[in-house]
Structures are given as structure tokens and as C-alpha cells.
Structure 1
Amino acid sequence: MKQLVGTGVALITPFKSDFSVDVEGLTKVVDFNIENGIDYLVVLGTTAESATLSKEEKQLVINTIVSSNNGRLPLVLGIGSNNTQEVIDEMTLRDLSAFTAILSVSPYYNKPTQEGIYRHFAAIAKVAPLPIILYNVPGRTASNMLPETVIRLANDFDKIVAIKEAAGDIVQAMRLILGCPKDFLVISGDDMITLPMVLAGGAGVISVIGEGFPKEFSKMVKLGLDKKVDEAYKIHYKIAPAIDYIFTEGNPAGIKAVFKTLGICGDTVRLPLVVVSEALRSKIDSFVKKF
């Protein structure tokens, strides 16, 4: 899965002021990232506000991204649920011909045991038509997929090829890098510790900040993969304040504020999310303009 080494971005879903999907804005976001060095695109992840999209809107988002990408970069599709059968049904019924892999989040809300998490992904792996990237994000799921569980899945199922690790724990990330098979990709899901993870042996990132600053962030990751530490950290510390800003009042409100300042699309989000405060918007505007 060398196509997934480097910088992937979790694409937003731009909305118009009437909360409908902004197809033109989404096309601009895709082009902006492709033209500035991103390696692959992640469709319908958490950052896409997929929880608030109807089935018809999800298909519109997929169609728009597939069309605007036009085969230029690999695409990864987010398919996750706290209902195992629902994930299986969507994987087997949806047209996945345009996609390289599936990103599937650890079950949320139900708070399964580690054995429950293992069996969830085992059931999916047995029928998955594409390689699977596990997604561990305890801050959203209320449960942590432990390294032992990930290592077990990585060894037991060829279809499980990577993990987006977003626990924000560099020690846990290193345990994954050490314990998983050599060809298994440990991908950062936390922008602030992406570079340390890459330098420790990680395969790159699926990023939020990266879609707002694609040229710089993807360069940082490439330098990290090449072990050019000082050059990479110079970029990291330049971007680091923006990473804090975009998550201060929630994702994707923060990154949408960046896109509004860039003039690429608006910053509308759907309830229960709200746009960033004026105080935070001022900080983001100032950072983007100076950057």
C-alpha cells in the first residue's frame, strides 16, 4: 500500500449558506490539495461532517470528488458505524471502483471491549472488497483500540493494512510501529504529533491542517520520511499555532474558517456544530494572512 505513504487529507464538505452541499466549493478544495502536493484524499471521514449527511448527499459528495479528482490521486472512503452489519452492508453494496482503500472507525458510543473491537473488524475484514485502514480516535469513540488488538488484527487479516492512529499518544504509536508487521502502515491521525510519529517509523498522516496548508504540510511529511529532521521541524513549528487554532472550537469549524480566509469556500457547518467565535476567527485570519 505504498500509495498511502505520505500525506492524506480528510476532506471537508463545504456547505452553502442554506446548508446545502457546495459542489463548486468542494471541487475547489480538491483541486487546491492536488495542486499543492497532497498524496491521497480521504472522502466522508469525520471532518466531512458525514454524520449529518443524508445518503443522497453522501453520494453527491462521492460523485463530486471522484469527478474532480479524475484519477489524479488515490481515494480512500470512510465507512464506519457502531453497527457492524451496517458497515458490512455498505461495503458490499456501494460502488467502490474509484477507491483504493476503506477507512473504518472503531465502533463509537457502544463502548465495546477489546474482544468486541477485534470481532467487529474481523467480521468486516472477511467480506471487505478493498484493503481496510483501521481508525482509532478515542476522543470521539469513548474507547481506545489498544496496540495488542491492532497487532492481532494486523497479523490475522491480510485485508487490514494500516491504522490511522489518533489517540494523541506517541508511546502508543511507537508500540504499534514496533509490534505490527513491517508492511503494516501506522498513519498519524493527530496533526501535532505527525512528525514525531513519522520519524519514529510511521508512514505519514491523514490530516486536517494539511488540507488548509497542503504544500507546507506535505513537504514536512516528506522531509520526515527522508529523515531530514531539522528541515522538517522548521516547518512543523511554523504551522503548529494553526493546528492549535483549528481544533480549539472543534473540527471542522476551525479548518473551514481557514478555507474562508483563503477564499476557497465558506465556513458554514451543520448543527450541532457551529462556526468559530469572532475571537478565534481573528486569530485564524491573522495567521493565514501572515503565513
Structure 2
Amino acid sequence: MEQLQGTGVALVTPFNTDLSIDTEALRRIVNYCIDGGVDYLVVLGTTGESVTLNKAEKMLVMDTIVSANMGRLPLVLGIGGNSTYRIVDEIKSFESEHFSAILSVSPYYNKPTQEGIYQHFKAISEVTHTPIIMYNVPGRTGSNMLPETSLRLSHDFENIIGIKEASGDMVQVQKILKNKNKDFMVISGDDITALPTVLAGGSGVISVLGQGLPTAFSQMIRAGLNREVDAAYQLHYALQDGMELIFKEGNPAGIKAIFETLGLSSAEVRLPLVEASSALKKDIAAFVQPFLKVTA
């Protein structure tokens, strides 16, 4: 899946002040990311506040992004949850025409065993021919998908093509990289580990900050893939404060504050999340300012 190498971005869902979906802002963000040089777009992931959207709203987000993208970049759709049977039914009815892959999170809250995680992804894999990227994010799910489980699934099912690894554990990432099939993609799910993952042999990142600063972030990943280590780390260190700031009060409050600074959308989020504080917005605006001068 060469089209999913490099920088993917987990798009936000922008809201109006009444918390309805701001489709015009979403179109602006899609075009901003494409113009900034990212490689693909991820729709209805965690950063898109998908768990707070109803079915009709999810369809609106999907249709808006497909329309705004106009086939320019590959699209990946988030379909995940903690009920295997519900996810299987959703994937069975999934219209794959506009999407290159499905991103599916390891079940959360239930805290399944490794065998339970394996059987969950097995069930998903067997009902679709669409490529699947597994998503391991223990900080949200409450359980860690161990390298042995990831590798077992990658060997057993051809349409399981990669994993978005957000454990934050580079030893775990390296175990997968060391023992994976040649074509299996290991994608960083944390901005802070994106460059180290790429330099260790990973395929890229699905980023949050990358949608706010797409030019600098995609240049960093591209330099890493090209083994231009010094240039890549120069960009990494320039972006590092932002990687930390946008998660200081939760995701996507921080990245939405960047979009407010850029004038692309409001910083509104839906409960139980709350908007970034004035103090954080001030720090984020100060961080973003030098990048605006570079691109001006």
C-alpha cells in the first residue's frame, strides 16, 4: 500500500457555535492539508470526535470530505468499537468506493485478552476485502495489543496490511518492525514517536499536529523516509513543543485551537470534552506564529 506511506492526518470534525457540523470549515481544512503536502487523509478517527457523532452526522462528514478531496488523496475511514458484532455489521454495509483502507481500533473498555483481540480482528478481516489497518492505543482502550498478537494477525490475514502503533513504546514498535512481513506497514500513532518510528523502518505516521502544520510535518516525515536524518530531526525539534501543547488539555481541543489561530475553524468541541483554555490557546498561538512567517 505505497499510497499510504508517509504522512496521514486524522482530520478533526469542526463545529459551529451551536455544535452542528461546520461543513465549510471541514472543506477548508481538507484543502489546507492537501495544499500543505500530506499524503493521505483519515476520516472519523478519534480526533474527529467520531464517538460523539450520530449516524447521519458521520455520513455528512464522510460525504463532505469525499467531495472536498475530489480524488486527490487516498482516504482511510475509521470504523471501530468495542462490540465485534456491531463493527462486523457496519463493515458489511461499508461503501468502499472512495476509501483505500479501514482504520479499526483494538476494542476498548472491555479489556479483552490477546486471544480476544485476535478473534476480534479475525472476524473483521473475514467479512471484507478492504485493507485493514489495526490501531493500538492502550492509553484509550485500557489494553495493550502485544507485538505477538499484531504479528500473528499480519501473518494470518492478507487484508490486514498494517498497524497504527500508539503505545508510545519504541521497544514494542521495534519488535514489530524486526519480525514483520516485508509489506506490513508500521505507522506511528503518536506525533512524538513519528520520526523515530520512520527511521527504525516504519512507513510513516497518522498525525494530529500534521493537519495543523502540514508542510513542516510532511517535510519531516519525507526527510526521515529519505534517510536525511539531520534535516528530519531539525524539523522534529522545531515541532516538538507543538506535539506536546496540543495534547496538554486533551485531543482534539489542542489541534482545534491551532485551527482557530489559523482562521480555518472554531475551537468548539463536544462534551464531555471542553474547549482549550485561554492560557493554552495563547501558548499555541505563540508556537504557531514562526511557522506562519515561514509559509507567508
What is the TM-score of this pair, normalised by structure 1? 0.99
Residues of 1 paired with 2:174 and 2:238: CA distance?
25
- Alignment partner of 1:49 is 2:49: yes
Matched to 1:287, the amino acid is F
Q: Secondary structure, in 3 states, of the residue corresponding to 2:246? A: helix
- Structure 1 residue ranges without an equivalent (≥5): none
Q: Secondary structure, in 3 states, of the residue corresponding to 1:98? A: coil
In structure 2, the partner of 1:262 is: 262
Residues of 2 paired with 1:287 and 1:186: CA distance?
29
Q: CA deviation at 1:290?
A: 2.7
Q: Aligned runs of 1:81-100 on 2, under 5 Å?
A: 81-100=81-100
Matched to 1:48, the amino acid is G
What is the TM-score of this pair, normalised by structure 2? 0.98
- Corresponding pairs, count: 291
Residues of 2 paired with 1:242 and 1:215: CA distance?
14
In structure 2, the partner of 1:29 is: 29
Matched to 2:48, the amino acid is A
Residues of 2 paired with 1:138 and 1:61: CA distance?
27
Q: CA deviation at 1:95?
A: 1.5
Q: CA deviation at 1:285?
A: 1.0
Q: Secondary structure, in 3 states, of the residue corresponding to 2:80? A: coil
Question: In the alignment, is the contact (CA less than 8 A) between 1:91 and 1:129 conserved in 2?
Answer: no
Residues of 2 paired with 1:254 and 1:91: CA distance?
31
Q: Secondary structure, in 3 states, of the residue corresponding to 2:230? A: helix
Q: Aligned runs of 1:200-215 on 2, under 5 Å?
A: 200-215=200-215
In structure 1, the partner of 2:159 is: 159
Cα deviation, 1:218-246, whole Å, max 9, x if unaligned, reads 00000000110000000000010011100
Q: Secondary structure, in 3 states, of the residue corresponding to 2:123? A: helix
Q: Aligned runs of 1:189-268 on 2, under 5 Å?
A: 189-268=189-268
Q: Secondary structure, in 3 states, of the residue corresponding to 1:133? A: strand
Matched to 2:243, the amino acid is I
Q: CA deviation at 1:193?
A: 1.0
Q: Secondary structure, in 3 states, of the residue corresponding to 1:248? A: coil
Matched to 1:67, the amino acid is S
Q: Secondary structure, in 3 states, of the residue corresponding to 1:134? A: strand
Q: CA deviation at 1:180?
A: 1.1
Cα deviation, 1:159-193, whole Å, max 9, x if unaligned, reads 10000000011111011111110110000001001
Residues of 1 paired with 2:81 and 2:275: CA distance?
26
In structure 2, the partner of 1:9 is: 9
Residues of 2 paired with 1:101 and 1:119: CA distance?
20
- Between the aligned residues of both structures, percent identity stands at 60
Cα deviation, 1:42-89, whole Å, max 9, x if unaligned, reads 000000000000100000000000000010000000000100011111
Runs of 4+ in structure 1 off by over 4 angstroms are: none
Cα deviation, 1:77-132, whole Å, max 9, x if unaligned, reads 00001000111111111222100000000000000000000000001111123000
Q: Secondary structure, in 3 states, of the residue corresponding to 2:247? A: helix
Residues of 1 paired with 2:260 and 2:152: CA distance?
43
Residues of 2 paired with 1:279 and 1:129: CA distance?
47
